[in-house]
Structure 1
């Protein structure tokens, strides 16, 4: 079973469902299903053939007028057909969406490929594979945001480059190596780099940078008694989050080219151009994905519910993944047009997040 789906908006919900009779629900569902399948508006004549009950095109038009007045559907341009509004899609997702389940083949493919990417490589390789895999399965863009601050450390090394600059080398348990430049305190003796290296390596024991920083802050007075002032400053600089690093958060995007497929009109191309511009603004994408860390379950964002997608009219489906202590350490998801196949992609994202979580837990 998939994790519960969390709404990113309370503007539509089950209350509205109670106001729709069986005919209205059936016609509305067919309008949404047609939009998700084709992206095209559907008219009353076609709807009268699609719905299970016997209704004339005139009766269907009356129901469509009521749905339009409720803000659930609209007529694009001068078309006689109707499309769901963003409010209508939110209502559909919150109150009417029937979440499917992944096939055994899809589950095996996700688990096998993500785990294979981690063998002999870094966790980041596995996350990149998960992102590419989601992109391929959904025919949209796959996204992952994670933080290097949550990688479990194996070794730290301070290296002097010249009189004023040094390098801190961070080696994680999964094999990831990160090099950071840092300014050395004036008058720092070469022995201080060795002392700082030994001091931290004696305390790593699979901790994250965040945990080491917290420990240093909690025991600052005690540790400063063990180190001279300059070495203590070096240790603190080595554990610091680099400026402009979004607290160490890192964005991976794969499969943007998928978004260029199946374009219906010139306005679709403009929408995708705007979405590409959104994806280039990494700070805003990271901010949106980070919001999906709140609580359990899969989060769905539709169109202008979020300012990032207000122009491109896109949707995002995302789910958090966790480490062995059940701390959320990142988010995996899919970004694409509002006519994403929500019923299929929600369990796909949810299962991928669970596979990544198990992978991280197993690396401890």
Structure 2
């Protein structure tokens, strides 16, 4: 059975081989790429190893797309992206610690050599012995300097790789919170924001307000003009909604053609105005899109909006459900309108 020390030694050996091999093949050292290469060199996933060997046999270089495909096929289901990136960064830290340990050993040997030379000096040391001791000191110093320069290069390289990996982690973390099509926050961020509302409901002018927004007859756009036109409508509507809020107010795409606006810093009296402002501005703007023949067209887009104010001690799922009911009422009443769950103008 493999001991902890032997496992550590094998891990360090894999780390030392991964980066030079990736550099040789001009593969960017990103968390995903590094994880694929680490798992390949450790031979922990046989199917991945076989697929990588086939790629290396057929080509002198491997594209980023090919490595991404290997990651998605063999590793993504087993490890989410964040954990994979953390693992890669952890191995980089292990390599750094190994280099630091080697540096300690080198300088310990240098110090021991200098102490031995100092102990060899005495009042009756001959000129010949003195020259020999000076040669020893010079050789030891040159060796230490050479090792120091090499160590500096290695540490500088590892530091650069870790900085790069840190930036990749930050980008992946941010990407996990953003809807790729519209650039708005995604459902995950919306849910987190709702959870943070616990205890925020107040009997004053700043009770949190939620708007659930749906693009009317959006399926017709996709069916008539194609999904590319539909995507463009989503992006332009998202831009208009985002331009209508500010401060701690949050805009998110919940999925499909549905959006949410969580107004946390807008006075109660202003929530209804924001909802109407969004609806009217989208209606007046007209979306500029291309149909499936790439012919430019302008589409009239309307929104249905459901709104609700957070009640004292109300669970967040009930809060969302009331806004959803208001949205359903807006659609039932003919679309292109704002409806509120309960009194349209809440009392303070």
TM-score range, shorter chain: under 0.3
Higher relative contact order (CA 8 A, sep 6+): 1
- TM-score, normalised by the number of residues in structure 1: 0.19
Higher radius of gyration, 1 or 2: 2
Greater percentage in strand: 1
- TM-score, normalised by the number of residues in structure 2: 0.20
Greater percentage in helix: 2
